[in-house]
Amino acid sequence: MADLPLQPGSMIGILGGGQLGRMLALAAGRLGFDVVVLEREADSPAGRVCAHTIVAAYDDAAALAALAAVADVVTYEFENVPAAAVASLVGMGVDVAPGPLALAVAQDRFEEKTFLNANGAPTVAFAAADSPEAAVDAVARIGAPALMKTRRDGYDGKGQRWVEHAADAARVFAELGSVPVIVEAPADFVRELSVIAARGRDGATAVYPLAENHHEHGILRRSLAPARAAPALTEQAERIAARILAGLDYVGVIGIELFELSDGRLLVNEIAPRVHNTGHWTQDGCEVDQFEQHIRAVAGWPLGPTRAIAQVEMLNLLGDEADTWSKLAAEPETRLHLYGKRAAKPGRKMGHVNKVRPL
């Protein structure tokens, strides 16, 4: 195990070489750390800004051993990294943060909601199903319409379908691949919010202002932050975040997606044990952004301040929208963040902009 806090010049390992890994690596570099990435693609966005890249599958035993040999601590940029890979690293004496519990909870939507409810973080009603008959029964108990989701591997709206009538549940179950699913009651929400929070090695926590989020076709299009929110709503979100962080014995930054109901209550939609798209606004809107905060936490450094210093509208650039970079770069209120991905595809996140205004 590494001696903490990590000294500048130490090596931080990242599982995953996408845009989140890239922005984590850039933040680590600012603090004087070197970064090694384990990534399947040789020409990854994160790999091109890192000191070293190990090109292999995430569960490749030799690659994990090579990562363990050079990294002082290891973190990950997405929650679908194989849990067995993290267990293997831990077995080799590597400090992995966030820990295996956070990964296990976030990788299974049923386990996630069960954990949330057990730790005082309310969600919609839900039920699990692993057969067509169980799916019909689950929808009948929850009530239609209901949202059916695969328990694993869903993101950006993938792996989920609405079930309008209980009689349709078996068909929808088959459309989702006849794999274990969770059936969720709809949330009668007035808006979608999120809170980005962090917990350090010493148990200290830091919470960012709320963001208001707008999705299209299951993909985040824009976030507005800090969101307009009464103090009671902000306090409710902070209590939820504190319970989740403590329940997971968490180290690092976590994204918590929330539904605000008409009566002012908050329900947790889902959690992401990593830096989060709805926290990108912090890069230009806060004293310390979510990426630096995550590096600080996993390195055992003190957490930084989370106070907002600007009002930000974050817009995701999807597909060829990133081709307008020249126009965007000329806008004085716009801060452009491009991910260095080689090929633009419809719906693919190629970058984002933060439109900054005074508070």
Please, what are the domains in the chain?
A: 11-96 (3.40.50.20), 125-184 (3.30.1490.20), 189-357 (3.30.470.20)
- CA dist., res. 347 & res. 244, Å (int): 31
| CB-based contact 53:44 (threshold 8 Å) | yes
- CA dist., res. 189 & res. 262, Å (int): 6
Query: 217: pLDDT confidence band, cut at 50, 70 and 90?
Result: confident
Residue with tokens 């309310």: 122
Rounded average pLDDT over 231-238 = 98
Given a cut of 80, whether residue 220 has pLDDT beyond it is yes
What average pLDDT is seen over the chain? 96
pLDDT tens-place string over residues 140-169: 999 999 999 999 986 666 789 999 999 999
Rounded average pLDDT over 178-187 = 96
Measured between alpha carbons, how far is residue 322 from residues 9, 235, 305, 312 in Å? 34, 37, 31, 19
Rounded average pLDDT over 80-99 = 95
pLDDT tens-place string over residues 5-56: 999 999 999 999 999 999 999 999 999 999 999 999 999 999 999 999 999 9
What kind and span of H or E run contains 313?
strand 311-318
Query: 190: pLDDT confidence band, cut at 50, 70 and 90?
Result: very high
- CA dist., res. 123 & res. 25, Å (int): 34
Instruction: Provide the CA 273 distance to its chain's centre, in angstroms.
Output: 6
Given a cut of 80, whether residue 354 has pLDDT beyond it is yes
Given a cut of 90, whether residue 218 has pLDDT beyond it is no
